[in-house]
Every structure is written in structure tokens, then in C-alpha cells.
């Protein structure tokens, strides 16, 4: 059986480029959906922030301010409205940064995909050339070797994509851990506050919640990446997800986090939901790891069969 090392090498390279292009198209589609969702959410949050600023302005001057003075609660209401306005601005800024990161991801994906535009055509042409050469050789093993080569290309691409998804899951799990640590500290301070911890406990609680809020935006970024990688490998959604959609992780968990008084039960609930999400990410990572092992075994089987044919 005749073969060309140069043709074989070009074919492997073309197959890798084609699989990479397929991978990027799937990522691009998932990113586009995330961008649409983020834009809708940002528009809602910007409107909410504007309304909160209007509430502050009315209490700082005008009829609402006069009525609040008469009722003797102007300063208290003004402080609360300012805190709510600050929280609304914070959420809007967070989603604006998230949207910018998603759009940067989309541009990078599109740029790389443009460089691979000719890959499918190149692969088809080279595969046809390889097939013609093998058929002319008259070797009975030719057809099976071609099929084995294509199967190996697919399995190798699947292995790479599952490894990427697993790494993204590990990064998301680590990021959630960085949210959980300050949240647990805040719960402890909140418990202390309930039993008379006073200003010290209150200060610790707020400091830890601010740290959790900051960590949550990094966790959201990691969850966005993990979500795209999962869509790429076709991992089915498990039947029992946490009730909080991970795409709206920050909004759901940290609404009005800058307000002066945060109830102990709210911290408990928030902690519980983050822990659920972390468990889901961990369990999904274990499934990815198991699937990677299956693909590795399949690749080893194909390589062994190929070696037997070549030595036969």
C-alpha cells in the first residue's frame, strides 16, 4: 500500500482546522445568545437605575422632600433611596462590564473563525486525494484505514473539547469558592450581630458582603465561559438544577447588597443558593471527566486497530 507522509500530515492538519472551526461556530452561537440576554438585562437595569436616581432627586428637593420633612423621616428615607440607587448603579455597571467581556469574546471567536474559513473545503479535497491514492493502491485495508483516520480525528477533537470544558468547570468552581468564603464569614458576623455584636459585627458583615459581591462578578464571568463550553460538548442539562438560573447569578444573589441592613436569613438563603450552584458545577465537572475517560479509551482502541492494520 502506497502512502504519502506529506499528504497524511496535511490531511491531519486540515482535519484539526475543520474541527476547530466547528468548535468556534458552536461557541459563537452560544456567545451570541449570552450577548442578547445581557443586553436585555442591561437595558432593564439602566432603566431601574434611572428611576432610583429620580427617587433620590425627589427626596432631595420638591414635594416629596417637603412631605418627608413634615413626617420627620426625610434623612432615613433619603439614606435608603441613595443606597438603592447605588445598588442599581452597581448592578448596571457590573452587567455593562459583563456585556463588554462577552462582546470581546465574540470578536475574538469571529476573527479566528475567519482565518479558518477555507478549512472544510481543504479537508474535503485532501480526503478525496487520499482516498483516490488508496484505491489505486488496490490494498484491501485502504477503506478501513480512511475510516479509522476520520474516526480518530473526531475522537481527538472531542477529547480536546471535553478537556476545555472540564478546565472551564474547574475555573468556575474555584470562582464560586471565592464567593462562598466571604459569604460564610458574613453569615458568622450576622449571627454575632443577632446576639449583640454591634457596630463591629455590622462592619465585618458589610465588608465580607462587599467582598462576596466583587467575587460574584468574576464567578459570573467563569460561569458564562463554562456555559458555552457545555453547549459545545452537548452536555444535557441535569433534571434538578438549582432554582436560580446561573445566567442571572449576580442579580438574583446580590440585589441591594449595599444597603445598610441585610437580614440574616437573606445571607443564609444566598449562601445556600451559591452552594447549590457550586455543587452543580462540581457534579457536571465529574461527568465531563468520566466522558473524557471514555473518549480516551475509544481513541486507544482506534489507535490499536490502526496499528494492527498497518502491521498486518
In this predicted structure, what is the pLDDT of residue 79?
A: 74
> Is 90 exceeded by the pLDDT of residue 111?
yes
> Is 60 exceeded by the pLDDT of residue 219?
yes
In this predicted structure, what is the pLDDT of residue 74?
A: 62
For residue 165, the tally of other CB atoms under 10 A from its CB is 26
Residue 222's closest CA among 254, 182, 177? Answer: 177
> Is 90 exceeded by the pLDDT of residue 159?
yes
Q: Which range is least confidently modeled, 161-170, 237-246, 281-290?
A: 237-246
Reduced to 3 states (helix: H, G, I; strand: E, B; else coil), residue 292 is: helix
> Is 60 exceeded by the pLDDT of residue 175?
yes
> Is 50 exceeded by the pLDDT of residue 98?
yes
Distance CA 69, CA 81 (A): 15
| 205 and 189 Cβ atoms separated by less than 8 Å | yes
Between 85 and 101, whose confidence is greater? Answer: 101
In this predicted structure, what is the pLDDT of residue 240?
A: 46
Between 61 and 245, whose confidence is greater? Answer: 61
In this predicted structure, what is the pLDDT of residue 301?
A: 94
- 131 sits in the region (left: phi over 0; alpha: psi -120 to 50; else beta) called alpha
Q: Which range is least confidently modeled, 1-5, 82-86, 174-178?
A: 1-5
The rounded mean pLDDT for the chain is 80
Reduced to 3 states (helix: H, G, I; strand: E, B; else coil), residue 178 is: helix
- 255 sits in the region (left: phi over 0; alpha: psi -120 to 50; else beta) called beta
In this predicted structure, what is the pLDDT of residue 6?
A: 84
In this predicted structure, what is the pLDDT of residue 286?
A: 95
Q: Which helix (H) or strand (E) holds 186?
A: helix 142-194
Between 107 and 231, whose confidence is greater? Answer: 107
Give per-residue burial for 2-16: e unless 16+ CB within 10 Å, then b.
eeeeeeeebbbebbb
* Residue range 57-81: mean pLDDT, rounded: 63
Residue with cell 413626617: 71
Q: Which range is least confidently modeled, 10-14, 169-173, 253-257, 266-270?
A: 253-257
Residue 193's closest CA among 180, 179, 207, 181? Answer: 207
Please list the helix, strand and coil fractions of the chain in percent, rounded to the nearest 5, in that order: 85, 0, 15
In this predicted structure, what is the pLDDT of residue 247?
A: 47
Q: Which range is least confidently modeled, 156-170, 191-205, 228-242?
A: 191-205
Question: Is the dihedral angle over the CA atoms 79, 81, 84, 88 positive or is it negative?
Answer: negative
Q: How distant, in Å, are the alpha carbons of 219, 232, 248, 252, 277 from that of 245?
A: 14, 19, 6, 9, 9
Band of residue 307 on the pLDDT scale cut at 50, 70, 90:
confident
> Is 80 exceeded by the pLDDT of residue 201?
no
Distance CA 61, CA 137 (A): 91
Between 265 and 298, whose confidence is greater? Answer: 298
* Residue range 206-220: mean pLDDT, rounded: 83
Helices 63-71 and 74-115, axial angle in degrees (round to 10)? 130
Distance CA 45, CA 87 (A): 10
DSSP state of 278: H
Amino acid at each position: 500500500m502506497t502512502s504519502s507522509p506529506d499528504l497524511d500530515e496535511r490531511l491531519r492538519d486540515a482535519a484539526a482546522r475543520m474541527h476547530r472551526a466547528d468548535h468556534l461556530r458552536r461557541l459563537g452561537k452560544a456567545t451570541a445568545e449570552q450577548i442578547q440576554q445581557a443586553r436585555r438585562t442591561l437595558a432593564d437595569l439602566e432603566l431601574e437605575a434611572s428611576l432610583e436616581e429620580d427617587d433620590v432627586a425627589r427626596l432631595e428637593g420638591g414635594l416629596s422632600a417637603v412631605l418627608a420633612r413634615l413626617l420627620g423621616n426625610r434623612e432615613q428615607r433619603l439614606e435608603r433611596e441613595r443606597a438603592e440607587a447605588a445598588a442599581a448603579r452597581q448592578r448596571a455597571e457590573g452587567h455593562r462590564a459583563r456585556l463588554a467581556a462577552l462582546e470581546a469574546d465574540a470578536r475574538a471567536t469571529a476573527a479566528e473563525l475567519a482565518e479558518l474559513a477555507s478549512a472544510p473545503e481543504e479537508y474535503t479535497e485532501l480526503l478525496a486525494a487520499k482516498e483516490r491514492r488508496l484505491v489505486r493502491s488496490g490494498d484491501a485495508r485502504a477503506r478501513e484505514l480512511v475510516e479509522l483516520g476520520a474516526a480518530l480525528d473526531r475522537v481527538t477533537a472531542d477529547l480536546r473539547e471535553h478537556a476545555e470544558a472540564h478546565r472551564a468547570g474547574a475555573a468556575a468552581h474555584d470562582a464560586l469558592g471565592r464567593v462562598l468564603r466571604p459569604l460564610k464569614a458574613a453569615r458568622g458576623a450576622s449571627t454575632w450581630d443577632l446576639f449583640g455584636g454591634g457596630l463591629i459585627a455590622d462592619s465585618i458583615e458589610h465588608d465580607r458582603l462587599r467582598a462576596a459581591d466583587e467575587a460574584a462578578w468574576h464567578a459570573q464571568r467563569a460561569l458564562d465561559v463554562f456555559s458555552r463550553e457545555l453547549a459545545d460538548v452537548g452536555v444535557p442539562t441535569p433534571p434538578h438544577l438549582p432554582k436560580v438560573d446561573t445566567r442571572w447569578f449576580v442579580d438574583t444573589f446580590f440585589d441591594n447588597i449595599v444597603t445598610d441592613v441585610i437580614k440574616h436569613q437573606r445571607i443564609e438563603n444566598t449562601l445556600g443558593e451559591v452552594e447549590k450552584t457550586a455543587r452543580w458545577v462540581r457534579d457536571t465537572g465529574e461527568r465531563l471527566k468520566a466522558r473524557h475517560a471514555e473518549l480516551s479509551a475509544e481513541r486507544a482502541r482506534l489507535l490499536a486497530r490502526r496499528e494492527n492494520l498497518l502491521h498486518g
